[in-house]
Amino acid sequence: MLPFPLQIQPGLPISEQVVYAVKKAVISGLLKPGSRFPSVRAVSQELRIHPNTAHKAIGVLIDEGLLEVHPGIGTVVGQLPSAPSAKELKLFAGQVERLVVEAKNRRLRLDELQAMIERQWNRLTTR
Amino acid sequence: MLPFPLQIQPGLPISEQVVYAVKKAVISGLLKPGSRFPSVRAVSQELRIHPNTAHKAIGVLIDEGLLEVHPGIGTVVGQLPSAPSAKELKLFAGQVERLVVEAKNRRLRLDELQAMIERQWNRLTTR
DNA sequence: ACACGTGTCACATGCTACATGTGACACGTG
DNA sequence: CACGTGTCACATGTAGCATGTGACACGTGT
């Protein structure tokens, strides 16, 4: 059994869905820093996807610092990353803009959006 | 000249970029309800993209209610849509969750995220 | 009645991303 | 030394995207 929940759905790339599921599991405390992360082959077998696909997803998580590799040993959940750089913040601002545009397009008010943000924030509380 | 700004960039589908540019123009007041929207062929020529691609983007905007079609006449900016349905809100909640996950992943605090939201909100103020 | 511009549609083609298939190598553990 | 681990380099099939090409229905203006 994998240490994070995931139901593969069509419409989005499988590797992206795996990345997102792991991110959610990490920030919600389901995957704790230092704990063992399943091997590429284990993930591929559990999710019934190809090892290359699992490896691609894990590679992204490595690059973002959520996972750490110990060659010959395996992969573990990394320590929490540091504060974002200016470049990362700029990219993130683009995502914020996208959400605001969609919110305004749906005739939401600012306080309604803020409330939805806070609700999701608390739902994903680190345990 | 098109009534909305857009610089085509690689990495994202062209049709999606057109849709997003129009959405931003509408909510920022650059495109006012009832005003004339450029024809499929005009958009394709200005942006140097294929008419089919422009038509695809406009088709999405039609479906979402941002544009209205008058056969034989042309396309105009639609009146502002009504309040979102429960189904639309659920889809939008998924987008909110995505942003919150990315924010937590970057070690942002809730108040920092809320501040970014409010800043973008005011930047896209309807004139 | 007619030409024109409008939106709309149905194919086909080339390109790219994605997922899978297959095989191989370096590393550390036991 | 065998084993499991991560990693990599190809190839293959599928799907989405953008473009190419041609065509039709509609309303306006002449």
Tens of pLDDT along A19-67? 999 999 999 999 999 999 999 999 999 999 999 999 999 999 999 999 9
Decide if B102 and A92 are in contact by the 8 Å CB cutoff: yes
Chain A contact set for B101 (CB, 8 A): 20, 23-24, 27, 124
Residue nearest to nucleotide C17 (CA to C1'): A13
Interatomic CA distance for residues A23 and A51, integer angstroms: 19
Interatomic CA distance for residues B84 and B72, integer angstroms: 30
Tens of pLDDT along B58-110? 999 999 999 999 999 999 999 877 778 899 999 999 999 999 999 999 999 99
> Could you give the residue ranges of the DSSP H alpha helices within A14-109?
14-27, 40-47, 51-63, 86-105
Given CB atoms, is A91 within the 8 Å cutoff of chain B?
no
Tens of pLDDT along A75-112? 999 987 777 889 999 999 999 999 999 999 999 999 99
Which residue in chain B is spatially nearest to A88 when comparing CA positions? B106
- Determine the average pLDDT of the residues in B11-32: 97
Nearest Cα of chain A lies from the Cα of B24 at a distance, in angstroms, of 6
Decide if A124 and B104 are in contact by the 8 Å CB cutoff: yes
Decide if A83 and B107 are in contact by the 8 Å CB cutoff: yes
Cα-flanking dihedrals φ and ψ of residue A74, to 5°? 160, -160
Measured on CA atoms in the order B46, B47, B51, B56, is the torsion positive or negative? negative
Residues 58-77 of B with CB under 8 A from A: 64, 66
Which residue in chain B is spatially nearest to A123 when comparing CA positions? B97
B75 C-beta less than 7 Å away from strand C: yes
